[in-house]
Chain A
Amino acid sequence: MTTRMFGQKVARREDPRLVTGNGRYLDDLGAGALAAAFVRSPHAHADIVDIDVSGAIDVEGVIAVWTHEDLPGQAAERLPMLLPHPSIVAPMTGFALAKDHVNFVGEPIAMVIAEDRYVAEDAAGRIEVDYEFLPPVVGVRQARAAERTVHECAPDNVAAHYVQEVGEAPASIDAAAHVLELELDIERSACMPMEGKGVLAQWNTDDESLLVHSSTQTSTGLRAALAAKLEVPLTKVEVIAPDVGGAFGVKINHPWPEELAVACAARALRVPVKWTEDRREHFISSAHERAQVQHVRVGFDDDGRILGLDVKFWHDNGAYLPYGVIVPLNTSTHVMGPYAVPAYRCEYWSLYTNTVIVTPYRGAGRAHAVFMMERTMDAIADRLGLDRAEVRLNNFVREFPHPMGVVMQDGAEGCIDSGDFVTSMAKLKALVGWDEFREYRERARAEGRRVGLGIGCYIESTGAGPYEGGHIEVETSGRVNVWTGLTTQGQAHATVFAQIVADELGVPMEDVHVITGDTRKMPYSVGTWGSRGGVMAGNALHLTAKKVKAKALRIAAEALEASPEDLEIVDGMVGVKGDPSSAMPLAAVSVLSNPLRYAFDESAKAATQFARPAKMDAPPVAPGDEPGLDEQDFFSPMRSTVANGMHAAIVEIDPETADISVLRYCVVHDCGPMINPMVVEGQVHGGVAQGIGGALYERMAYDSDGQLLNASFMDFLMPFASEVPTVETDHLESPSPLNPLGIKGAGEAGTIPTAAVIASAIEDAEGFEIRQMPLDPSTLWELRRHSANGEIDRLRRSAQQTDGPAANETTRTSA
């Protein structure tokens, strides 16, 4: 028997190429292409009075300088609103090159095309723009106050407003024995992939077609958008995502202004044009995420069971809204988490500010939701003097499927289809040593060390539709070509999809070759986002491989004079079950699948007209059949499948400097059956590292003028190896009933609860409420001062301990 590949820790197929410098990322392509550079607004909010490009045109090596008026037809109109949603009241998107007005520092105004990037940047520096300044809107609170306005069409700065309700939350809360309110703050961070964005556009004058390579998460989406904007038939545009150096969400938006402007220039100039984003550009002109101000009101009983939850939050969506309300919508649909909440109300406002746009960053609104719910769980536990894990256990959903009553980002009702939260919690408590922590804390305290234990639980809707497809072709050599339309940016698709296909088709993995993100090979696809690659393309390829196998068995059955039901494929050989002597290679079946006139090689002879008996009763290709061992299929789920997990962390905080170290980080993760546990764990490790960055280090520091003060890796602190702890993992594999492979998404999981978990641990260590993220040592040190002054509530459990300052018994609890 062939070993089943699904579930094995198979080494990655893509690695030998990538470790030897043979990767082909965007900037590695297009040798000799002209280079584009952009003039970007240095002001957050201004009218453009005049643009003088004369100084740039004289620079030797400059080919063209474009401003908005050079953009043709539809390309000069606003960029598309990609995700319309009923909550959007004031849709506003930008232009490829600014028209009359700029709304954030970094907005592109002019494009220089030159022989070389150095020259393009020299010339860009000589373009003079006159501005008339307008007062900028920076941050949620200033946007909410609406004393200043970003866009005239939204005088209150509200881009979207939405309410979702399950039951009667306000009444349930009023009737509850205990009520708590929490005000929570999360600041901006960003995906910050190591490779920025980039695009290479090549116009073929011979057939009037456009070939675009882009460091994108959706080649099909970009293709459609460019065809529409350039007003050319779809068939004349192809988009390829080459090796992509990380994305984490920021490369899903499309078309980026630069993608459109560069494509227009390539067509107009009839030469290849390339733009590679530099790091500063990535900071000030790609996308950020995370900033929300959140208010929670919760009612609960003596056991900490939530009776009603009423949530309001204000989301900073930046200057434009090309990617709609996915982030706040995800927040609103994930607050309830793994808990049975009988009454829930959520209201959000998505607000324009004069800052970089906000599009999904790994987790996409879910981290904010978990922060709300898990801070609430800890607050309930502290209010009642209960163990924090026990309060969670008292609220867990225990029956599946569990309809959530809210409409998710895919338009379907959310439903927790699978899981076992009680078991997951038991695993997590065992992994971190929950019950032994009190003793550990006492020992640490005796040594003068301050430690805390934090916990956080989450669910994640993954594998959203509408669909993904697979295309598999078995060549006459036996080589199996596998195409799926979604893109890859580090998720090991060339490996995990090959595992799935090899299993179903009964071929060695080495024979399977996976290509993703190339519209020439699979033009029907959505993209790689929302932990959907494995679920969607994995299942599509599983279904496709089944079709190929069925056809192979049918053809082989004819050749072997056997019944298809009696055949199997093992190690690439098709034969009667249990009788290897009868077997023929799958390659030979491929030969037979395609009746030939011409024998191009030895193996092809077998398929020619005189090499096999003529069928008297049917043409060579029967009606309804097709030549070739070549099939497509698609997977389209009823709804998103919901993965889940629980994390715990132990932190140590310096009693004097407030320096925070993560001593241990434990993860129990349930994404259903794992295709490749090594890859899943890698995703979790990386997700946790990003989560820790967001919890302790990373923030976008805007000043009141809308200037991003830390737009470099010197000043925006991403964790190095020295800051990230070892992640200890355990898994639960509860299969999803929503897809044939039973899998649930894993890509974003590590990031989602991390800020909540670290906040929980810091709160536990410090003994006073933590309501904001990120927390650096100086901020925590300030919070200590506020706590000592009685401005921040101390935890009740801490107030009962002897080491803390005098407890502030003021409570916001009302009975």
Chain B
Amino acid sequence: MTVAEPHTTLRLNVNGISHTVEVPDRRLLSDVLRHDLGLTGTHVGCEHGVCGACTVRFDGAPVRSCLVFAASAQGHEITTVEGIGRDPEHPSDVQQAFIDCHGLQCGFCTPGFITTIDAFLDENPNPSEDEAREAVSGNLCRCTGYQNIVEP
């Protein structure tokens, strides 16, 4: 016998839009963004908070959405990679920099880098190379060797 799973109706503010979703209490923010709201730009690489692919801005700060219950995101402003720029014709400055510098290959980790860097540049708009390297040293990339991500 199984007990019916507790659900909660959540109101989430994602990319400036208010969404109402009814989800199980244990559902992760990463899964709600991807599978309930269809914002599949947030990627899931490890589901234990190390790789950084699922990073979103949570009230501006970079946060691993695989370590947050969706319910915990109520009352907070969430920004995903789509919120930073979702139109391929008009990428944001950070997104354009990834294109110009060949900062991605398979592209799977890239949204997590972009959200992380977007938050970092708000704090430190003119970082040194060392500061830039430090800022992304919590995000894993298996393709690029990081060189074109951190180099000016």
Q: Which residues of A approach B to under 8 Å, CB–CB?
A: 11-12, 14-25, 27-28, 31, 58-60, 118, 122, 191-195, 243-246, 248, 278-279, 489-492, 678-679, 681-683, 685-690, 712-714, 718, 720-722, 724, 726-727, 750
In the complex, 21 of the A-B residue pairs with CB atoms within 8 angstroms, ordered by the A residue number, are A19-B99, A20-B41, A20-B81, A20-B85, A21-B81, A23-B41, A118-B27, A193-B108, A194-B53, A194-B108, A194-B109, A245-B107, A246-B108, A490-B107, A685-B146, A689-B146, A712-B46, A714-B50, A718-B140, A722-B134, A727-B145
User: Which residues 18-39 of B sit at the A interface, judged by CB distance below 8 A?
Assistant: 24, 26-27, 34-35, 38-39
Q: How far is the CA of A639 from the CA of B111 in the complex (A)?
A: 40
User: Which residues 90-148 of B sit at the A interface, judged by CB distance below 8 A?
Assistant: 91, 95-96, 98-100, 102, 104-111, 114, 133-134, 136-148
Q: How far is the CA of A391 from the CA of B86 in the complex (A)?
A: 56
| Closest Cβ–Cβ distance, residue A34 to chain B (whole Å) | 13
Q: How far is the CA of A195 from the CA of B53 in the complex (A)?
A: 10
Q: How far is the CA of A18 from the CA of B99 in the complex (A)?
A: 9
Contact among B42, B137, B145, B151 for A688, CB-based, below 8 A: B145
Q: Cβ of B48 and Cβ of A23 under 8 Å apart? A: no
A118: chain B residues at CB < 8 Å are 24, 26-27
| Closest Cβ–Cβ distance, residue B106 to chain A (whole Å) | 3
Taken residue by residue from 55 to 75, chain B's Cβ proximity to chain A (1 for < 8 Å, 0 otherwise) reads as 000000000000000000000
Given known pairs A20-B81, A714-B48, the reply for A12 and B102 (CB within 8 Å) is yes
B77 located at the interface, meaning its Cβ lies under 8 Å from any Cβ of chain A in the complex: no
Q: How far is the CA of A64 from the CA of B4 in the complex (A)?
A: 19
| Closest Cβ–Cβ distance, residue A758 to chain B (whole Å) | 15
With CB as the reference atom, state the residue of chain B lying closest to A59.
Answer: B2
Given known pairs A194-B45, A194-B109, A722-B134, the reply for A21 and B39 (CB within 8 Å) is yes
Contact among B81, B87, B106 for A244, CB-based, below 8 A: B106
B6 located at the interface, meaning its Cβ lies under 8 Å from any Cβ of chain A in the complex: no
Contact among A31, A712, A721, A727 for B150, CB-based, below 8 A: A721
Q: How far is the CA of A279 from the CA of B24 in the complex (A)?
A: 23
Contact among B40, B80, B105 for A490, CB-based, below 8 A: B105
Q: How far is the CA of A193 from the CA of B86 in the complex (A)?
A: 25
Q: Cβ of B40 and Cβ of A722 under 8 Å apart? A: no
With CB as the reference atom, state the residue of chain A lying closest to B89.
Answer: A16
B10: chain A residues at CB < 8 Å are none
B143: chain A residues at CB < 8 Å are 194, 246, 490, 682, 686
| Closest Cβ–Cβ distance, residue A693 to chain B (whole Å) | 9
B34: chain A residues at CB < 8 Å are 27-28
B1: chain A residues at CB < 8 Å are 58
Ranked nearest first, the 4 interchain pairs of A and B with the lowest CB-CB distance are A21-B41, A245-B108, A490-B106, A18-B107
Contact among A28, A491, A492, A727 for B40, CB-based, below 8 A: A28
Q: How far is the CA of A243 from the CA of B106 in the complex (A)?
A: 8
A722: chain B residues at CB < 8 Å are 133-134, 137
B109: chain A residues at CB < 8 Å are 194, 245
Q: Cβ of B142 and Cβ of A192 under 8 Å apart? A: yes
User: What DSSP secondary structure best describes chain A's contact surface?
Assistant: loop
B149 located at the interface, meaning its Cβ lies under 8 Å from any Cβ of chain A in the complex: yes
Contact among B45, B80, B99 for A21, CB-based, below 8 A: B80
A248: chain B residues at CB < 8 Å are 142
A681: chain B residues at CB < 8 Å are 102
B150: chain A residues at CB < 8 Å are 721
Q: Cβ of B40 and Cβ of A724 under 8 Å apart? A: no
B86: chain A residues at CB < 8 Å are 20-22
B39: chain A residues at CB < 8 Å are 21
B44 located at the interface, meaning its Cβ lies under 8 Å from any Cβ of chain A in the complex: yes
Q: Cβ of B82 and Cβ of A492 under 8 Å apart? A: no
Q: Can you name 15 extra interface pairs (CB under 8 A) apart from A21-B41, A193-B142, A682-B105? A: A12-B102, A18-B104, A18-B107, A20-B87, A21-B81, A27-B40, A28-B34, A118-B27, A194-B53, A246-B142, A681-B102, A712-B50, A713-B51, A721-B133, A722-B134
Q: Cβ of A685 and Cβ of B145 under 8 Å apart? A: yes
A17: chain B residues at CB < 8 Å are 88
A-B contact number at CB 8 A: 187
Q: Cβ of A713 and Cβ of B106 under 8 Å apart? A: no
| Closest Cβ–Cβ distance, residue B13 to chain A (whole Å) | 18
Q: Which residues of B approach A to under 8 Å, CB–CB?
A: 1-2, 4-5, 24, 26-27, 34-35, 38-48, 50-51, 53, 80-82, 85-89, 91, 95-96, 98-100, 102, 104-111, 114, 133-134, 136-151
A678: chain B residues at CB < 8 Å are 102
Q: How far is the CA of A24 from the CA of B140 in the complex (A)?
A: 20
Q: How far is the CA of A720 from the CA of B141 in the complex (A)?
A: 7
Given known pairs A19-B110, A712-B48, A714-B48, the reply for A194 and B142 (CB within 8 Å) is yes
Q: Cβ of A724 and Cβ of B145 under 8 Å apart? A: yes
Q: Cβ of B88 and Cβ of A22 under 8 Å apart? A: yes
A25: chain B residues at CB < 8 Å are 40, 43, 108
Q: Cβ of B50 and Cβ of A686 under 8 Å apart? A: no
A12: chain B residues at CB < 8 Å are 99, 102
Q: How far is the CA of A491 from the CA of B4 in the complex (A)?
A: 46
A682: chain B residues at CB < 8 Å are 102, 105, 143-144, 148
| Closest Cβ–Cβ distance, residue A348 to chain B (whole Å) | 29
Q: How far is the CA of A492 from the CA of B38 in the complex (A)?
A: 26
| Closest Cβ–Cβ distance, residue B48 to chain A (whole Å) | 6
| Closest Cβ–Cβ distance, residue B151 to chain A (whole Å) | 7
Given known pairs A16-B88, A20-B88, A246-B143, the reply for A279 and B46 (CB within 8 Å) is yes
Q: Cβ of A20 and Cβ of B95 under 8 Å apart? A: yes
| Closest Cβ–Cβ distance, residue A711 to chain B (whole Å) | 11
| Closest Cβ–Cβ distance, residue B101 to chain A (whole Å) | 9
B106: chain A residues at CB < 8 Å are 193-195, 243-246, 489-490
| Closest Cβ–Cβ distance, residue B139 to chain A (whole Å) | 7
Q: How far is the CA of A750 from the CA of B144 in the complex (A)?
A: 11
Q: Cβ of B110 and Cβ of A18 under 8 Å apart? A: yes
Q: Cβ of A195 and Cβ of B102 under 8 Å apart? A: no
Q: Cβ of B146 and Cβ of A724 under 8 Å apart? A: yes
With CB as the reference atom, state the residue of chain A lying closest to B140.
Answer: A718
Q: How far is the CA of A489 from the CA of B106 in the complex (A)?
A: 5
With CB as the reference atom, state the residue of chain A lying closest to B53.
Answer: A194
A22: chain B residues at CB < 8 Å are 41, 86, 88
| Closest Cβ–Cβ distance, residue B142 to chain A (whole Å) | 5
A15: chain B residues at CB < 8 Å are 98-99, 104, 107
With CB as the reference atom, state the residue of chain A lying closest to B88.
Answer: A16
With CB as the reference atom, state the residue of chain A lying closest to B40.
Answer: A28
Q: How far is the CA of A28 from the CA of B31 in the complex (A)?
A: 11
| Closest Cβ–Cβ distance, residue B26 to chain A (whole Å) | 7
Q: How far is the CA of A122 from the CA of B4 in the complex (A)?
A: 13
Q: Cβ of A720 and Cβ of B138 under 8 Å apart? A: yes
Given known pairs A12-B99, A21-B86, the reply for A713 and B105 (CB within 8 Å) is no
Q: How far is the CA of A27 from the CA of B38 in the complex (A)?
A: 11
Q: How far is the CA of A678 from the CA of B148 in the complex (A)?
A: 10
| Closest Cβ–Cβ distance, residue A690 to chain B (whole Å) | 7
Q: How far is the CA of A746 from the CA of B76 in the complex (A)?
A: 46
Contact among A278, A683, A721 for B47, CB-based, below 8 A: A278
B139: chain A residues at CB < 8 Å are 720-721
Q: How far is the CA of A20 from the CA of B35 in the complex (A)?
A: 18
| Closest Cβ–Cβ distance, residue A624 to chain B (whole Å) | 43
Given known pairs A195-B108, A722-B137, A724-B146, the reply for A19 and B114 (CB within 8 Å) is yes
| Closest Cβ–Cβ distance, residue A127 to chain B (whole Å) | 14
Q: How far is the CA of A718 from the CA of B137 in the complex (A)?
A: 11
With CB as the reference atom, state the residue of chain A lying closest to B135.
Answer: A721
With CB as the reference atom, state the residue of chain B lying closest to A687.
Answer: B145
A28: chain B residues at CB < 8 Å are 34, 40
A194: chain B residues at CB < 8 Å are 43, 45, 51, 53, 106, 108-109, 140-143
B44: chain A residues at CB < 8 Å are 27
With CB as the reference atom, state the residue of chain A lying closest to B105.
Answer: A490
With CB as the reference atom, state the residue of chain A lying closest to B97.
Answer: A19
Q: How far is the CA of A490 from the CA of B91 in the complex (A)?
A: 20
Q: How far is the CA of A686 from the CA of B91 in the complex (A)?
A: 25
With CB as the reference atom, state the residue of chain A lying closest to B80.
Answer: A21
With CB as the reference atom, state the residue of chain B lying closest to A723.
Answer: B137
| Closest Cβ–Cβ distance, residue A682 to chain B (whole Å) | 5
